[in-house]
Structure 1
Amino acid sequence: MRKKPYRIALLFNANKVYDRDIISGIGEYIHASNASWDVYIEDDFVIAKDVISHWSGDGIIADFDDLELAKTLLRKDMPIVGIGSSYHDERMYPEIPYVATDNDSVVELAYKHLKDKGITQFAFYGLPDVESKLWSYEREQAFKRLMKKYGHDHWVYRGLRSSSKTWEYSMHRLSDWVKQLPKGTGIIAVTDARARHLLQVCDNSDIIVPDDLAIIGVDNERVARHLTRVSLSSVEHSCRKMGFNACKMLHKKLEGGEIKNSRIVVPATRIFERQSSSYQAIQDPSVIKSLHYIRTHIKDGIKVYHVLDELRLSRSNLEMRFKNELGHTIHHEIHNTRLNMACSILSSTEIPISDVFSMCGYPSLQYMYSVFSKNMGMTPKEYRKAKLSNEAL
């Protein structure tokens, strides 16, 4: 006789990549273990509060960053596994099986990434309502501990809550803060959403990213990554691993097994470096302006003479400055910028390759194929396939 399947409820608001990837990890465990589970999740991937009172299934995996939800679930007599923030204070953890994203590792990865670029002063852009979003408070405190440990000059700004009514005012206040930061500051934003605020403010205030300010977010949000002109570097959580471990813990509990480690803290392991943090310690203002012009006009098919016209300098003068600061020519910088942009689009979007060449300023599709063959040892199609295969691992 076939064993009756376990009935499991997943309580997540999957409007964020964080929750969606956790759910993916749960699915990966179910397939890998061949477990017989009937999974309940709302059709529109939101938490329905009435599910908690009416659910009479066998177990629940839930988002414990929702503090109201967590408080209610802890009163329920049922196998439950929570997923949420890590805490510096051990007393903050719930007394149930729990899988946490390691906030300390998230912030430290971002910090080390910026520090390796030569940055020595840092800022943190967080959230104002930390009482209801303790994970934001934990990341802010992790940042402060790092700054104290290494003795860096640093600044913290929580900003204002963003809504359609307060958007313009909050962006003006953020702009005021950003303008006070010294050039060469690296900013760690608590999420990619907050990092996008920074990129938009910098763009509207003629602050050059990453030369004046380098920015890195958290989440590696795939849906909204192209909403700004400057591509955003970001720390990626190990969310699938978190979901997989949570599902494994619940399965063991349902089978009557003993969970030796009822708390698992999963560190972040990967940074996706993009334009917003590609900082180089460059002193020459003409080179900084040239790099900004190249990055923002690369899709227009610019050549060296366009850069010279913009800077109003002779070629020999500007070439000498490039050699002194970067060790290569203006043409080489244009070539690298165009190739890097093509690689980024191919690896992070599904835009047809036949459209990519013009987006990057290549004169023809055939020419882009020739560049990839010479520099990457493969065609653009092969490059996209290889990157997608690596990301799936």
Structure 2
Amino acid sequence: MEESKTDQKKRPVAYRRKARKRILISSFWQEEEAMRAILAAANELNWELTDERFVHSQGPKAFTPHGMICCQWAVPDIMMPLIEARIPVVHTWAMRSTIPPDERPVVTSDTRLVGAMAAAHFLERGFRQVCYLSVNEYDDECDPLISTLKAHLEHGGAHFLGANLVELDGPGWRSAFDRTLDTWLGSMPRPLGVLASGDILGGHVVGFCKAFGISVPEEIAVLGIGNKQRWCDMSPCPLSSIDLNPVARARQVVALLHRMMGGEAAPAAPVLITPTRVITRKSTDIMATADLTVAKAITFLWEHCGSPISVDEAAAVAGISRSSLERRFRKAIGRSVNEELLRKRLERCRELLLSTDLTLVDIAPKVGFLSKTYLHRIFREHYHCTPKEMRKQSLPCRQT
């Protein structure tokens, strides 16, 4: 029997259904992964989300939201009246070097950590010359990504060769892009590491190299930012990229807006999200060295790090004696053969911990360890945390 309107009015307040919060969304097409996470988090709070594209404000029943999430740089016209009406608005971007005061509060990636992570990735692979390409305006002196990248490279004994601005749109952009890279990259030493400000730009750099006969990653190694799998996997050479943890960022956005709608003051400082890690693909999967014999041995070690290989086998592949390989190895990359093999095995172990649900028992034989206990001890000594603690770091970005 249906409940009458009179009975509904008599129903205790505690049992009445709460009115859903109406949230306006303004988003950029490249924020698809973050938007999926925002939708999931908003559904947990029973929010009603509406894309600003579908709002027709001239009608007699104009849409009035309780809050807004803006996931793009360009501020939509509909947003300013909401701010003037003191309706909570949260901005979020994957990455931006400078944040205008009138576009806060904001949740975004910690670009200093992005720069540090990129520097560590190139240094670990022996690159001693690195440059930065961007499609966005920047200031070398003030940009935290560039300044941190430069500082960490120099601290590690490498050289930062500067930054350059390129365009990926407008009439004739492709020819202009090729001319810029031909002039700029053509004057730089090899091997060279290139950090691109995004995965689409990184893919274009790889495509340029392929068209002009430049080997990737042997001559130029390319690292993107964002880890957009679509672009990384379809790059002419699969593109390594820094995962910015969009799911964690999305959840922070929803949580912040929820608190602000509850009366909490907006934070004055940006809420910075820690990037997850570098996802290594073929575009940087190499050890940069001018010694081709050492490079051949390194390739063997990397390709067979899951097998019980020895230094003697690596020396045989390289075509020299064990003692010669050890001497040339340390001179070329500053590590012994066994140290490099162990580093690669631990790197592979870390990748499996963060990207799969395999147990350490299952991972050990895949990365060349016969003992789970030994792997656990060595892993903790190297990363200063246990495998279990490392895996917890990836949980926010693996949730959907």
Task: Tell me the TM-score range normalised by the shorter chain.
Answer: 0.5 to 0.7
1:80 to 77, 82, 89: 89
Q: 1:142 aligns with which of 141, 144, 167?
A: 144
Relative to structure 1, the CA distance from residue 253 to residue 148 in structure 2 (aligned partners, 3 Å threshold; closer, same or farther) is: closer
Quick one: which of 27, 34, 37 aligns to 2:47?
A: 37
Which residue does 1:208 correspond to in 2?
215
Unaligned 5+ residue runs, structure 1? 42-46, 131-135, 296-313, 349-370, 378-385
Partner Cα separation in structure 2 for residue 96 and residue 124 of structure 1 = 27
Q: Secondary structure at the match of 1:57?
A: coil
Counterpart mapping for 1:301-380 below 5 A: 317=319
- Cα 1:140–1:324 change in 2 (3 A) is farther
> Aligned to 2:90, what secondary structure does the other structure show?
strand
Counterpart residue number, 1:192? 199
Q: Distance in 2 between matches of 1:265 and 1:315?
A: 51
Partners in 1 of 2:57 and 2:296 — Cα distance? 57
* Aligned length, in residue pairs: 325
Q: Distance in 2 between matches of 1:118 and 1:96?
A: 40
Q: Contact (CA 8 Å) 2:97, 2:145: kept in 1 or not?
A: no
Q: How does 1:100-115 map to 2 (within 5 A)?
A: 100-115=108-123
SS of the residue 2:49 aligns to:
strand
Instruction: Indicate if the aligned counterparts of 1:10 and 1:40 stay in contact, CA closer than 8 A.
Output: yes
Q: Which residue of structure 2 aligns with residue 239 of structure 1?
A: 246
* Secondary structure of the structure 1 residue equivalent to 2:163: strand
Q: How far is the alpha carbon of 1:9 from its aligned partner?
A: 1.6
- Given the two structures, how large is their TM-score scaled by the length of structure 2? 0.64
Q: Once the 2 structures are TM-superposed, how far is the Cα of residue 72 of structure 1 from its aligned partner? A: 5.3
Instruction: Label 1:51 to 1:138 Cα distance change in 2 as closer, same or farther (>3 A).
Output: farther
Q: Distance in 2 between matches of 1:222 and 1:106?
A: 18
Higher Rg: 2
Deviations 1:251-286 (A, max 9, x none): 22333x323635442233322332222231322346
The 1-side partners of 2:277 and 2:242 are apart by 5
Deviation per residue, 1:138-173 (Å, 9 max, x gap)? 999234423664653412221233468432442243
Deviations 1:39-82 (A, max 9, x none): 113xxxxx638667753222211125124x2x752332222221
8 Å CA contact retained: 1:99, 1:263: no
State which drifts further: 151-160 or 1-10.
151-160
Alpha-carbon shift at residue 110 of structure 1 (Å): 1.2
Maintained 8 Å contact 1:190/1:217: yes
Superposition TM-score, scaled by structure 1 size: 0.65
Counterpart-to-counterpart distance in 2, 1:163 and 1:83: 26
Give a deviation string over 1:98-130, Cα, whole Å, max 9, x none: 222222222221122212323232201111x53
Task: Tell me the residue number matched to 2:291.
Answer: 284
Match for residue 300 of structure 1?
none
Aligned to 2:92, the other structure's residue is in SS state strand
Letter in structure 2 aligned against 1:30: A
Pair 225,64 (structure 1): closer, same or farther in 2 beyond 3 Å: closer
Equivalent of 1:2 in 17, 21, 35: 17
Bigger relative contact order, structure 1 or 2, given CA contacts below 8 A and separation 6+? 1
C-alpha change, 1:139 and 1:124, in structure 2 (3 Å) is farther
Conservation of the 8 A alpha-carbon contact between 2:232 and 2:240: no
Amino acid of the structure 1 residue aligned with 2:93: G
Distance 2:367 2:146 in 1: 46
Q: CA deviation at 1:375?
A: 8.6
1:28 CA drift (Å): 3.5
- The corresponding residue for 2:35 is 23
The CA RMSD over aligned residues, in Å, is 4.6
Looking at structure 1, the residues matched to 149 and 24 of structure 2 have their Cα atoms a distance apart, in angstroms, of: 41
Tell me if the contact between 2:293 and 2:318 (Cα under 8 Å) persists in the aligned partners.
Answer: no
Alignment match, 1:154: 161
Q: Secondary structure at the match of 2:73?
A: coil
Offset at residue 289 of structure 1 (A): 8.3
Flag the 1:188–1:11 CA change in 2: closer, same or farther, 3 A: same
Whole-angstrom CA distance in 2 between matches of 1:85 and 1:52: 29
